Structures are given as C-alpha cells and as structure tokens.
Amino acid sequence: MNSRRATSPRFYAWAVVALLWPVVMLNYLDRQMVSTIRASIRADIPTIANDQDFGILMAVFMWVYAFLSPVGGFIADRFNRRWTVIGSLFVWSAVTWATGHCATYSQMLGCRALMGISEAFYMPAALALITDFHPGGTRARAVGVHLSGIYAGLALGGIGGYIAQTSSWRNCFTWFGAAGMVYAVVLILGLKDKPAAAEETERLRNHPVTIGDTIRSLWTQPAFWILVVYFTLPAIAGWVTKNWLPTYIADTFKLKEWPAGLSATSFIQIASFAGVLLGGIIADYWMRVTWRGRIFTSAAGVFLMVPALLGLGCAWSLGAAMGFMALFGLGWGFFDCNNMPILCQIARPEHRATGYGFMNLVSISVGAVATVALGWMRDHGIKFSVAFEVSAAVALLSAFLILFLKPRADGRCR
C-alpha cells in the first residue's frame, strides 16, 4: 500500500501528459490542414481572391491567438488550469466543425479568428499544468512528450489533401470537430489540477495573483526579455515552414496537392517528434551537470536549423529537400521542448502560464506578419529562397542571444 501511494503521484503526472497529448495533436492538425488543402478551399470558395488573401486567412488566426495568449495564461494562473484546457477544447471542436460548413471568405475568416480565441487558452494552461506535475528531473521530458503531439498533428495534417481529393475538404473539419467534442468529455472525467502545498495555498490566499504583479515579476527581469526575443526569432522560420512549405514543395518539384502536403509535413514533423523526445532527455540529463543544461540543449537545436534553412532554399532535388526538412525538424524539436522549462527557471509557478502567453503574443504576432509577407512575395514573383535565408540569419542571431540568459541563482524553480 505504501509503495502504491509513493508511485501514484508520479503515475498521474505522466497520465496528465497522456491526457493532454490528443488535445495538442488535434489543435495542430487543424492548423496544418488549412495550408495543405489550400487549393481545394480556394476552388470551393472563389471569394478567396489570391494568395495574399489566403495568407491573411491563416494570419488572422495567429493574430487573435497571439493577442489573447496572455489573457488565457492569466486566467489559467489566476483561476483554474484544468477548466481552461477543457473549455478551450469545447470551443475548438465547435469552431472546427463550423469551418467545414463555411461558404464564403468572410465566414472562413470569422472561424479562423474564433479558432485563435480557443487555442490562446490551451497552450499556456496545458504547459503550466504539466510543469506543475513535473518539477525537476522530468520536466523537459514531460514537455517534450506533450509537444510530440504537435508534430503528430502536423504530420497527420498532410492527409487533409488526400481526404479533400477522395471525399471533400469539408469532411476534414467536420469529422475532427466531432471527435474533439467527444474527447472533451474524457478530460472532464480524467483531468485534474495539482493540489497546492498548504503553505503555497496560504500565500496565494493572502496575496492573490494579479495582472499587475505578474507583469512586474516577468517584465522587470532581463532574462525574460531575452527569452521572449529568443522564442520569437526561430519561430519566424517555424511559421514559414508550417504555413507555406507545402506550396513551396508543390511549386518547386511539380507535385500535386496531397503528395506535396504529405512531403512537406511528414519529414519535418517526424524529425521534430524525435527531436522533442531526444531534446527533453538530453536537457534533463544536462541539467544534472550544469544549471544551464536546458539553455545549451535549446541553442544546439537552433544551430542545427540554420544549415537546414539555407539548404531548403537551394534544394536541388526532392530528396535533398527531405534531408534538410528532417534536419530542421530535429533542431526545432530541441528548441521547442525547452522553452517552457527555461521559463520555469526564471518565473514563479503562478506566473508561468501568463509568461508563456506573453511569449506567444510576441512570437506569433511576428509570425503572422511573416505569413502575410510570404503571400505578398508569391504574388510579386519573389523567390522563397529569400525567406529561407532571412529566417536562417535571425535564427543564428537567437542562438547566440540565449547564451546570455541568466536563470535564477539556483538555476531551478519548483
């Protein structure tokens, strides 16, 4: 009995990761499907006039998601992380289903904006909940396992083109929206918040979390400013590849919609899937050697992304492009799984969801501008290689920048 009690908290900590994995997978499957079935959507909705319009369609989601991420994070910090996650999934499911019934550009634009509201509440709350249950030596691994759902979703998003050709692009959204609604009931039954320690509960009762205290705690730290910039710069490349790589592959190598979408998603996402798992293991191990272990692991990932981006811009064959996509995905995984654990080294538990929300605000806002800019470039005949070169340059800058970040004196937070 004593042994069972000792192992039960650890078991449930990993059960939380398992429960949240399908949610993040569904979130990102939706994002990728929009880009992989671009041609089918445009053919069915002629009021989407050009690629710049389609870029705005993808970017409006990002802008809403960005600006509401701190709000979603603060609600999770101040009130309840469990219900923030569950409510997000219910809204996501309803909006995904509605997307499959859109008939005009304005309706699609409205659904993508509503989707941004839903997802702004999910990621900060989910990552903060996971780090609550995984202090210390399993934190990066737990975040990495959860984030592997992103890459599974992005890879599965490539099947959108196949469904669109064999059935209808509308079924992609209708079916997954219904699945999300069913899974929200599973979360109601199985997901819990971590009970706070008695002294922590008393402290928060006497001094409740406020937005002013949270902003001061985060933004008066130079380390947080560095982390926000670091989180943003490589994300430019991330959004460029997520939103426009299927189109680039189709145009460059003369592929049809669904094989181009599958090629553009599968190689990066499979490598990213491996990268977040491997990066989490390496970072947790490296933390035993130095309190900057997660910083070093993340920086190493960004350094891998630089030659991958340059190679994608001048790939001489589809095989070479696949190799560069795999290298990019591996580096991205190392980077992605360590952002929240690094934030945990500089922010208190009651500020982490909001802190991640602010990171999303800056990063995604910049990514949205880049997404629209890529649409404008396509309409004006500017080569994609220019975007890859710029993305590589800013990623290289960020890899050096993160090395200047100084966590708290002990290098760790609970």
What are the helix and strand counts (H, E) for the chain? 17, 0
Query: Residue 6 has what pLDDT?
Result: 44
Dihedral sign (CA 377, 62, 365, 148): negative
Q: What CATH number has the domain bearing residue 218?
A: 1.20.1250.20
Q: How many CB atoms lie within 10 A of CB 12?
A: 15
For residue 333, the one-letter residue type is G
Cα separation, 269 vs 149, whole angstroms: 10
* Pair 397, 242: CB distance under 8 Å: no
- In a domain, residue 330? The reply is yes
Q: Alpha-carbon distance 326 to 204, whole Å? A: 45
4 inside domain: no
Number of domains in the chain: 1
Residue 123 contacts residue 117 (beta carbons within 8 Å): no
Q: Which of 37, 1, 266 is nearest to 170 (CA)?
A: 37
**Cβ distance 76 to 84 under 8 Å?**
yes
Predicted confidence at residue 203, as pLDDT, reads 57
Q: Rounded to an integer, what distance in angstroms lies between the CA atom of residue 75 and that of residue 71?
A: 6
Q: Is residue 35 one of the residues assigned to a domain?
A: yes
Q: What is the residue range of 71's domain?
A: 9-191+208-404
| Neighbour count for residue 256 (Cβ, 10 Å) | 11
Burial class (CB in 10 A: 0-12, 13-18, 19+), 159: buried
Residue 157 is given by DSSP the state T
> What is the rounded CA–CA span in Å between residue 346 and residue 218?
8
Instruction: Return the half-sphere exposure (C-beta side, CA atoms, 13 A cut-off) of residue 2.
Output: 0
Q: What is the pLDDT of residue 1?
A: 42
201, part of any domain: no
Question: What pLDDT tens digit does each residue of the chain (414 aa) get?
Answer: 444 444 577 889 999 999 999 999 988 887 777 777 777 787 788 777 676 777 778 778 878 888 999 999 999 998 889 999 999 999 999 999 998 888 888 888 898 889 888 889 999 999 999 999 998 789 999 999 999 998 888 777 766 656 656 667 788 888 889 999 999 999 999 999 887 654 555 555 556 778 899 999 999 999 999 999 999 999 888 877 766 777 777 777 766 655 666 666 678 878 989 999 999 999 999 998 988 999 999 999 999 999 999 998 787 888 888 889 899 999 999 999 999 999 999 998 889 999 999 999 999 888 778 777 777 776 777 777 787 888 899 999 999 999 999 886 554 545
Q: Is residue 197 part of a domain?
A: no
Cα–Cα dist 410/345, whole Å: 9
Residue 344: what residue type? C
Residue 62 domain-assigned (yes or no): yes
Name residue 212's amino acid. Answer: G
Q: Residue 167 has what DSSP assignment? A: S
Q: Model pTM?
A: 0.83
Q: Is residue 196 part of a domain?
A: no
pLDDT score at 305? 94
Q: What does the alpha-carbon distance between residue 339 and residue 152 come to, in Å, rounded to a whole number?
A: 19
Return the pLDDT at 90: 94
Residue 336 falls inside a structural domain: yes
- Proportion of the chain in helix, strand, coil states, percent, rounded to 5: 85, 0, 15
Is there a contact between 397 and 278 (Cβ–Cβ < 8 Å)? no
